[in-house]
Structure 1
Amino acid sequence: MSTLHVLSHSPFIDSRLTSCLRVLGPDDAILLCGDATYALRPDSAPRRALEGQIELFKLFVLEEDILARNLEVPRGVQSVDYPGFVALSIRFDKVNTWL
């Protein structure tokens, strides 16, 4: 069963991203939105953690949030708009929002 994991909290203030990476299945994906997009800051520990496992899952980022934080979309990460977010929610069997 595939799961879309939605993260919206900064990886610099808690361990949601680390916990999420531990439970990912082979058909799962992560969508970074809100302050979770800071995980893509160059040369940061969260980005290295994501890059270390990027071959194991799909990684998406909400376009509006990455632009608002003036970050670039790294290679291997797909940017989606709000309709794309809805499409992802339908594509996966489950959606797990890490509140």
Structure 2
Amino acid sequence: MTTLHLLSHSPVGDDRFDSCLRLLGSRDGVLLTGDATYALRGDSLPARELAALPKGFPLFALDEDLHARGLSAPAHCTVVDYPGFVELCGRFDKVNGWL
């Protein structure tokens, strides 16, 4: 069973990001929204952890949230809009929001 993990909280000072990475299955995916997009910033520890995921791992970031924070996505991350967000939720068997 595949799971899309939705992260919206900053990876700094919050353990949800690390907990999510520990629980990822080989067929899962991650969508970064809100302050979770800061995980893609520069050479930060969260950015290095995401870059270390297996090649081709489904990693996504919400376009609007990247732009709101002045960020861009690295090549290993697919940027999606809101219709893409909805499509992703239907692509995976389960959706887990890390509230």
Range into which the TM-score falls when normalised by the shorter chain: over 0.9
CA displacement, residues 52-94 of structure 1 (integer Å, 9 cap, x when unaligned):
1142621000000001101111011000000000000011000
Distance (Å, rounded) in 2 between the aligned partners of 1:18 and 1:57: 17
Distance (Å, rounded) in 2 between the aligned partners of 1:57 and 1:26: 8
2:37 is the counterpart of 1:20: no
User: Which residue pairs with 2:32 in the alignment?
Assistant: 32
**What's the Cα RMSD here?**
1.0
Distance (Å, rounded) in 2 between the aligned partners of 1:14 and 1:86: 26
TM-score under structure 1 length normalisation: 0.96
User: Which residue pairs with 1:87 in the alignment?
Assistant: 87
The unaligned stretches of length 5 or more in structure 1 are none
Distance (Å, rounded) in 1 between the aligned partners of 2:55 and 2:34: 24
The unaligned stretches of length 5 or more in structure 2 are none
Aligned residues: 99
Relative to its length, the structure with more helix (as a share) is 1
Q: What does residue range 19-98 of structure 1 map to in structure 2 within 5 Å?
A: 19-55=19-55, 57-98=57-98
Residues 54 and 76 in structure 1, CA contact (< 8 A), matched pair in contact too: no
1:17, distance to aligned residue in structure 2 (A): 1.1
Amino acid at match of 1:43: D
Residues 56 and 76 in structure 2, CA contact (< 8 A), matched pair in contact too: no
TM-score under structure 2 length normalisation: 0.96
Amino acid at match of 1:30: V
Q: Percent identity among equivalent residues?
A: 60
Q: Secondary structure at the match of 2:88?
A: helix
